[in-house]
Amino acid sequence: MASRAAKERCDAGYGVNNTGKAVFLDFQDAFKRLGREVVDARYGNLFDMYKEITDVDPHEEPMMIYPAIHYTMGGLWVDYNLMTTIPGLYAIGEANFSDHGGNRLGASALMQGLADGYFILPYTIGDYLASKFKEPKTDTNAPEFEAAEKAVQAKIDRLMNIKGKRTVDSIHKELGHIMWEYVGMARNKAGLEKAIGLIQDLKKEFWSNVYVAGETGVFNQELEKALRVADFLEIGELMARDALNRNESCGGHFREEMQTEEGETKRDDENYMYVSAWEYKGDDVKPELHKEPLKFEFAHVATRNYKD
């Protein structure tokens, strides 16, 4: 709620510093009401880091802040050995859901990557591989391998032959701006519909006017970046579609039309207690929604409450 309020004030033209992308966070009232020791017990490390970086003491002057973009990734189901529903395919770190779901902050993402990489996978994947040493190797001459290789090569050739005027970075930045403004921490129907249209237009711009420097057949970071941005355009549009379809507020998904009088999230478990699985139907074709119902046998479903 505080993050949404900070962005709203900046969008309204009340932001501070040269960019207008900041507000002041003043703890003076909290110090008077609770005492400095109580506040320091909760946020002392944050105050220390802020002073280390800015040379400004938050005890004496307000902190200058702006919401950071939470990123969304992962979410693949894994068992206790970190293996997905596909035998032999493991998902570790930020790719799976096991500790933090799909919405991340930097520290929690780092923790899961370290925990999976250092403590879990080395002791689990070996059990699976141990039973596979005597099995024959997969034949890479199979038609599936050939089809996959041709598809990737065709995509690379298409990107390299566009030779347009837009850099990959400029399109990546424009996509980020669209996502931040319309699919970010606060969303509404009109904004999400606008985002879908803007992303579709940007996708056309990408595939007709992007310029990828360098050559194929050698290490080419610009080509690698272009392939990733092509993926980002697809997942960005899908996220906007899924957010538009889900007319409720829940977790990191806040629909402005679905909030309480106090600005808290308002869920709709009766209509949206499911996982959205979107089926790709082809380029420029609306994907098909499949609903996978969520059933809780042991956990009690409740709305998050920051007041208690």
> Whole-angstrom Cα distance, residue 263 to residue 247?
16
For the chain, domains (ranges, CATH) are 2-65 (no CATH), 71-130 (no CATH), 143-264 (1.20.58.100)
Question: What's the pLDDT at 4?
Answer: 87
> Whole-angstrom Cα distance, residue 170 to residue 163?
15
Partners of 71 in the β-ladder: 104
pLDDT band with cut points at 50, 70 and 90 for residue 101: low
Q: Which of 1-5, 121-125, 192-196 has the lowest mean pLDDT?
A: 1-5
User: How does pLDDT run across 119-173, given as a tens digit for each residue?
Assistant: 899 999 998 988 888 888 888 888 999 999 999 999 999 999 999 999 999 999 9
Mean pLDDT of the chain: 90
Q: What are the angstrom distances between the C-alpha of 128 and each of 11, 89, 124?
A: 53, 10, 7
Question: What's the pLDDT at 138?
Answer: 81
Q: Can you tell me the mean pLDDT for 298-303?
A: 84
> Whole-angstrom Cα distance, residue 21 to residue 101?
29
pLDDT band with cut points at 50, 70 and 90 for residue 308: low
Q: Can you tell me the mean pLDDT for 33-55?
A: 94
Question: What's the pLDDT at 81?
Answer: 92
Question: What's the pLDDT at 98?
Answer: 77
Question: What's the pLDDT at 74?
Answer: 65
User: How does pLDDT run across 103-118, given as a tens digit for each residue?
Assistant: 666 667 778 888 888 9
Give the Cα-Cα-Cα angle 212, 214, 216 (nearest 5 degrees): 95
pLDDT band with cut points at 50, 70 and 90 for residue 306: low
pTM above 0.75, yes or no: yes
Q: What percent of the chain has pLDDT above 90?
A: 66
